[in-house]
Amino acid sequence: SQIQGTPSIPRKSRRRKSLAIAYEPGQGNGAEPPRVPWEPRDWREQLERIREMRRSRDAPVDEMGVQKCYDSSAPPQVMRYQVLLALMLSSQTKDQVTSAAMLRLRQRGLTVDSVLQMDEETLGQIIYPVGFWRNKVKYIKQTTAILKQKYGGDIPSTVEELVQLPGVGPKMAHLAMHIAWDSVAGIAVDTHVHRISNRLKWVKKETKNPEETRVALEEWLPRDLWKEINWLLVGFGQQTCLPVNPRCSQCLNQDICPAAKRL
C-alpha cells in the first residue's frame, strides 16, 4: 500500500520490491542471475554435420515425399487437398508406396468431388498396398465429406482444426501447414525425428512418442529451424541413422553422438 505511485520507495518495501524483480538485469544485492535456457550439448555442430550429409538431397523423402506427391499445376485448393491426402496415406508407409498410390489417384483426377463420388472398394483398390489401407479408406471418405461440408472443399488452415479430421494426427497437421499453407505452426515429428532426437539427446529426458518429442524440441530449438528440421532428420534417418543397425561408421557425428557405436 506504500508504493502507490510515490517517486521514492520507502526503505521497508525495498526488500519486497527486489524479490519481485529478482531476475531483472542490473539488480545487485545478491539477486539470482537470469536463467540460461537449456539446450543440448553440441547441437549446432551436429546440425551442421547433418546438413552436410543431407546436401545431395537424394533420400526417399526428397524424391518421393509428400511435397512431391501433389499436382503443383492444380488450383491451390486442389493442391492443398492432395497434400492432405498424401499425408494421410503416408502414415506407417514407405515414401515409395505413398508416391505410387498418389500417382494412381491423380490419374483419376484427384479432387474432393472425385473422391466423394468414388465407392470405398474402388478407393481401396487404388491406394493398396499403403499401410492400414482399409482404415485409411474410411478416414479419407469421412474427412473429404467434412472438407466439402464445412470448408467449401478446402482444408483447414490451423493445426487445431486439422487434427479434428478423421485420420489426421499432429505430425500430418504440422506438415500440412508447412507444405499446403507455407506456415510454420510447430515442428512436424515422425518416427525418424523422434528416434534421432532421442539418440542425439536433443530432449532433456527420453521421450516416449513423437508428440512428446515435438513439445520438447519446441522448448529450445530456434523457431527459424522448425520447418527445416523435419526433412533434414527424416532423410538422415532413412539413409544413415537407421532404426536398426544405424550406419554410425558413415556418420559425420560419430565422435559427438551420445548413441554412436564407435568402432
Q: How confident is the model at residue 104 (pLDDT cuts 50, 70, 90)?
A: very high
- Cis link prior to 129 (omega < 30° from 0)? yes
**Predicted confidence (pLDDT) at residue 203 exceeds the cutoff of 90:** yes
**Is 171 among the catalytic positions?**
yes
pLDDT at residue 33, as a whole number:
66
**Predicted confidence (pLDDT) at residue 9 exceeds the cutoff of 60:** no
Long-range contacts of 243-252 (CB under 8 A, 24+ apart): 243/191, 243/195, 246/199, 251/53, 252/49, 252/50, 252/52, 252/53
Q: What is the pLDDT of residues 27-58, one digit of tens each?
A: 445 566 677 789 999 999 999 999 999 999 99
- Residue in 150, 171, 205, 208 annotated catalytic: 171
Full-model pTM: 0.84
d(CA 199, CA 92): 21
Domains of the chain are 42-53+186-262 (1.10.1670.10), 72-184 (1.10.340.30)
